[in-house]
Amino acid sequence: MSTRFTIARLGSQGDGIASAEGGEVFIPFTLPGETVTAARQKDRATLMSVLEASPLRVDPACRHFTECGGCALQHYQAEAYRQWKREKVVQALKAKGIACDIAELVPCAPHSRRRVTFSARRTEAGMLLGFVRALSSEIIPIEECPISHPAIVSALDRLRALADLVCAMPRAFHMTVTVTASGLDIAVHEAGKLGDHQRRIASNFVMAEGLARLSVDGEIIVEPKKPVVQFGPVAVAVPPGAFLQATEAAEQAMAGLVGQHLSRARKVADLFAGCGSFALRLGAKSEVHAVEGEAAALAALDRAYRFGTGLKRVTSERRDLFRRPLTFKELNAFDGLVFDPPRAGAEDQSKQIARSDVPLVAAVSCNPVTLARDLRILVDGGYALKSVTPIDQFLWSAHVEAVALLEKPKRRR
């Protein structure tokens, strides 16, 4: 049975929110001011029809929109969408009592996402390859994807065929596809153990189709060409399943902000350094100490430095910064610092930074809520927040990145 609702505002995940008897109701694919009918299930509802559309409603870019679970806001006019994303950062900082100039959102172009994770499963009708419907385990097979790099979209048939070759169990598994300078890097997870025959067939397919690498659960099955990405002037051979920023343009925007802020620093710490997207760029002007918990990522960073040219000294240290953050005494050896933690943020590390004398700090985050918490710690520790720049690299989703730049006056000794 459908009920009539009026949408008051958008929630943090991009769903429309309507007031109703018994509390608020979240209705995906609706916009503020719209009158809709929807089938309610407790605090959520499935959109049935739009009776009165918002003037900001636009035609979605993809035939799979509302089904595949990948995008939440293709129906939102571009400028309004960008303002909504920027406001997520504004409100997160406001909730922690932080006042600061928030720059305009750095936008994300379509067809630019270079790293995509598909779900796959073998069925009686054939191999499914696509994205999972929101709040469901159902895989929606896709034929197009306007957020993804054209190299990925044009390879969908080949990826589906490869998924069929490596599938060794009936349940769903994942396939992460990354665009590199050498070709597509395919990392398969939880598809089952490959037999010798499967390995040979899959390897022959990868080589015949010009793919760069196939790995299964971290093991390289075949690597015709080492997958290489460029971090500024430095080429990095990334390990299987390595973390990369989702779009190259967003990575460059972040690196530009961080690099400019730390340009005066002679010695820089890069915490949660990954494969070196910041460290290897900063190394052109500064000595850098890169700290990362993943051994494979750190090895790729160190190898790239050793074979690179034009860099100052770049050292590396494997360390779990959640369990053992750098202490304020260790940090005092540096006059610049960047940290880019996972979504959980870096609360304990921020407490040590707040106690330190590091004059220049850049905080990079994919979660405005944990960023605001960490910035509150730094501001309470004497840092002045100079700017915050929101960056969109997950187009039409609720996710937003941000780069915050801070300074601390030198203490008189």
Residue 245 marked in a binding site: yes
Structure confidence at residue 413 (pLDDT)? 44
- Say what percent of the chain tops pLDDT 70: 99
User: Mean pLDDT throughout 61-82?
Assistant: 96
Structure confidence at residue 241 (pLDDT)? 87
Instruction: Point out the least confidently predicted range of 39-43, 75-79, 371-375.
Output: 39-43
Distance of alpha carbon 125 from alpha carbon 393, whole angstroms: 35
* Catalytic machinery residues: 366
Domains of the chain and any CATH numbers: 2-57 (2.40.50.140), 81-109+244-407 (3.40.50.150), 115-229 (2.40.50.1070)
pLDDT single digits (tens) 110-163: 999 999 999 999 999 999 999 999 888 999 999 999 999 999 999 999 999 999
- Say what percent of the chain tops pLDDT 90: 95
User: What is the residue-averaged pLDDT of the chain?
Assistant: 96
Structure confidence at residue 411 (pLDDT)? 65
Distance of alpha carbon 195 from alpha carbon 207, whole angstroms: 18
Model confidence at 379: pLDDT above 60? yes
Strand partners, 141: 130
pLDDT single digits (tens) 366-376: 999 999 999 99
User: Mean pLDDT throughout 367-388?
Assistant: 98
Structure confidence at residue 1 (pLDDT)? 77
Give CA separation, 403 vs 19, 254, 293, 391, in Å: 35, 7, 22, 8
Residue 340 marked in a binding site: yes
Tally the C-alpha atoms within 13 A of residue 303's C-alpha that lie toward its C-beta. Answer: 13
Residue 260 marked in a binding site: no
pLDDT single digits (tens) 267-320: 999 999 999 999 999 999 999 999 999 999 999 999 999 999 999 999 999 999
Closest CA to 325 of 345, 307, 305: 345
Residue 320 marked in a binding site: no
Tally the C-alpha atoms within 13 A of residue 309's C-alpha that lie toward its C-beta. Answer: 0
